[in-house]
């Protein structure tokens, strides 16, 4: 009897223990669910704050870009107004810092390997300048609205074996074949020139250079240098050599138009940041 009583006591204790555990678990479940819900809401609020924070950072970045571009444009403009310096033949690494600076160099044109960059509009004309308008109309049948090309000619610097490239200027479309044929037959001519140091252009969006076919649509100095056995150095002739007698290319074809849209981009990002921040605050409150 004593053994049976002890066994019943153990069974009852086990049943009570299981009932107690179940009750305790049931009591914890509502609290646990509530805690999980609060945590998820906090995480959601923090996640939504990422949008205004990110757009604000992008606005700050565009502000820095705006300051950088403004300083760059001012540097270029001031450099273009300075007096020409001598071409740094003894230290060509200086050219990395001399883009858009005017330099003076003396040497000899090597016409045999010249080529053209197509299709280019004329950049040197000023608005409302009837004198230039009459000049071009009188000598070439092309109108000012037609595209032409820029003539690139190798140039051997006097007293050295260094060959660079010179952008001699703009020609109308009807003059291209002459420069690529008869123009290459001319004997070397010694010239004393002043021009602007340039770098490679961005590749064309739809067209590529074809050096093997002598077709050029943008200025890639390394490709151009390999094509005409010169160094990857390009100078845009500053002074026009055009006259009625020899139909030389028209110089001063340096394009210095730089767009600065970073201020507009900054306003867009800051506006988006403000709108999303207001939405976030209304959501939180």
pLDDT at residue number 17: 52
Q: Once rounded to an integer, what is the mean pLDDT over residues 213-224?
A: 93
Q: 212, 226 in Cβ contact below 8 A?
A: no
Average pLDDT over every residue of 224-242: 86
pLDDT at residue 197, as a whole number: 92
Q: What is the pLDDT of residue 71?
A: 87
3-state secondary structure of 127: coil
Percentage, residues of the chain above pLDDT 90: 37
Q: What is the mean pLDDT of the chain?
A: 79
Least confident of 91-95, 140-144, 264-268: 140-144
What pLDDT, on the 0 to 100 scale, is given for residue 96?
87
- Beta strand ranges found along 131-188 (DSSP E): 148-157, 163-172
Question: Which stretch of 12-26, 109-123, 126-140, 179-193 has the lowest confidence by average pLDDT?
Answer: 126-140
Which residue stretches of the chain are H helix? 2-81, 130-139, 176-180, 221-228, 262-284
Query: What is the tens place of the pLDDT at every residue in 53-73?
Result: 899 999 999 999 999 988 888
Each domain of the chain, given as residue ranges in start order, spans 39-83+256-284, 101-122+148-255
The pLDDT of residue 99: 87
Percentage with pLDDT > 70 across the chain = 72
Per-residue pLDDT tens for 14-50? 555 554 554 555 544 454 455 555 566 666 667 777 8
- The predicted structure's pLDDT at residue 145: 47
Cα–Cα distance list, 219 to 75, 100, 117, 260 (Å): 23, 15, 7, 22
Average of per-residue pLDDT across 121-129: 62
CA distances from 180 to 111, 119, 172, 235 (A): 9, 15, 13, 20
Q: List pLDDT tens digits, range 240-278.
A: 555 545 568 888 888 776 778 888 999 999 999 999 888
Q: What is the pTM of this model?
A: 0.66
| Confidence category of residue 8, pLDDT binned at 50, 70, 90 | low
Residues 170-207: tens digit of each pLDDT: 988 888 999 999 889 988 889 899 999 999 988 888 88
The mean pLDDT of 140-169, rounded to a whole number, is: 82
Any residues with CB less than 8 A from the CB of 46 and at least 6 apart, and which? none
């Amino acid at each position: 009897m004593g053994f049976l009583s002890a066994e019943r006591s153990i069974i009852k204790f086990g049943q009570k223990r299981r009932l107690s555990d179940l009750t305790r678990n049931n009591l914890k479940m509502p609290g646990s669910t509530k805690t999980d819900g609060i945590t998820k809401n906090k995480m959601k609020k923090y996640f939504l704050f990422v949008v205004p924070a990110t757009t604000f950072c992008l606005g700050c970045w565009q502000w820095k870009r705006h300051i950088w571009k403004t300083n760059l444009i001012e540097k270029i403009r001031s450099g273009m107004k300075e007096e020409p310096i001598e071409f740094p033949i003894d230290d060509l690494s200086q050219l990395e810092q001399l883009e858009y600076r005017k330099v003076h160099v003396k040497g000899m044109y090597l016409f045999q390997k010249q080529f053209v960059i197509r299709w280019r509009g004329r950049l040197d004309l000023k608005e409302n300048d009837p004198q230039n308008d009459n000049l071009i109309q009188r000598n070439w049948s092309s109108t000012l609205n037609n595209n032409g090309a820029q003539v690139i000619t190798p140039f051997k610097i006097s007293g050295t074996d260094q060959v660079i490239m010179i952008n001699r200027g703009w020609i109308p479309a009807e003059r291209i074949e002459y420069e690529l044929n008869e123009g290459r037959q001319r004997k070397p001519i010694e010239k004393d020139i002043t021009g602007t140091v340039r770098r490679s252009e961005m590749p064309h969006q739809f067209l590529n250079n074809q050096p093997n076919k002598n077709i050029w649509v943008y200025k890639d100095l390394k490709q151009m240098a390999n094509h005409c056995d010169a160094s990857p150095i390009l100078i845009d002739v500053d002074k026009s050599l055009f006259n009625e007698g020899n139909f030389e290319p028209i110089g001063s074809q340096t394009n210095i138009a730089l767009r600065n849209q970073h201020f507009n981009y900054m306003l867009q990002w800051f506006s988006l940041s403000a709108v999303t921040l207001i939405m976030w605050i209304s959501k939180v409150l």
